[in-house]
Structure 1
Amino acid sequence: MVSHIESSTLLEAIAIMTDWRRVHPFVCTATVWEPEYSSPQRYRAHIDPGNSSFNAENCTDHSTLAYDDSTREMTVGDNRALRTSNMIAWEPFAVRLAFPLSLPIWGRRHDAYTIIGTDSHPDSIELHLATGPRREPTGTMRVDRARRITTSLRLPTLAIEYTDFEPARSL
């Protein structure tokens, strides 16, 4: 069982994740693994955390996931809808790492996971996650120190990873 939490490392990771609105817009490849799909889903994602907006195109079927915060309009494939303010964790998995407060890792009532350990690396911080009363390690999350963004989440039922970063314009 992982039980080591270096408080300064944990505080650094939390500071990075809670400062998500200051992340400059970027484009990346977002890979999502979910049990119901036989293979990973890959997206080319243009994410603008400061404007809470995104556009992600599925690399296989070219369907689009998009949100424009200025209009509150969401697009999923050919469907469009207005986002309401009471939606919790509504961002699609392909873009959710850019909005870390929507991740289920904070130990809140609606979260499935909590942070139980940290590992500090020169370029990143790895957080160890647990679920349930026994607090056995069941997942990890990586926070990139230079990019100041979460770059991977690995859970038993979901994995998300960002790679191939490029700077981008605002949405």
Structure 2
Amino acid sequence: MCLYVIENMRCRFSVSNEEKWEGWSNTPFVNSVEEKIIEYRRKKAESEVVAEQRDEADFFNDMQPKVVQTRRAFIDNYCNTPIQNSNLFAVKIDEVLPSHLGELDNLEDASTYDENEVWDTQIDIESVDKALREQKAKERQERRLARQMEHAKRFERRKE
């Protein structure tokens, strides 16, 4: 099989060589070689340009906004009652209060004076101040006694 391929190639070369020798004075062979060289150079230049374009980083590609259509939800009025256009701030006098609130009607203002309930309304500020001063004095006395006891313990340790 290899021989057959080689023989076919020889035949081709021989045919092409014969054609070349027959048309020696013609320049199409030279033109075709020059054209092929020009074509090769053009393709190489194009491939270099394409390679350069691929190598260039597109820094602004990630900055383009992505347009996403928002989802829309349709909420149907599940209540079949018609909507009434009325003043929401209007006072309705004709409405009746519920029966369990009826006991509020008998509310009376008892303006009687009761000595037992007066203590929370009349606070003697002077007595409160006096009680606070006594409490602070007691706390100071306790701190002073604690310092004296600590001082006495340290003094006894130094003597020993």
Under TM normalisation by the shorter chain, which class is it? under 0.3
| Higher share of residues assigned strand | 1
TM-score normalised by the chain length of structure 1: 0.14
RCO comparison, higher one (Cα < 8 Å, 6+): 1
| Higher share of residues assigned helix | 2
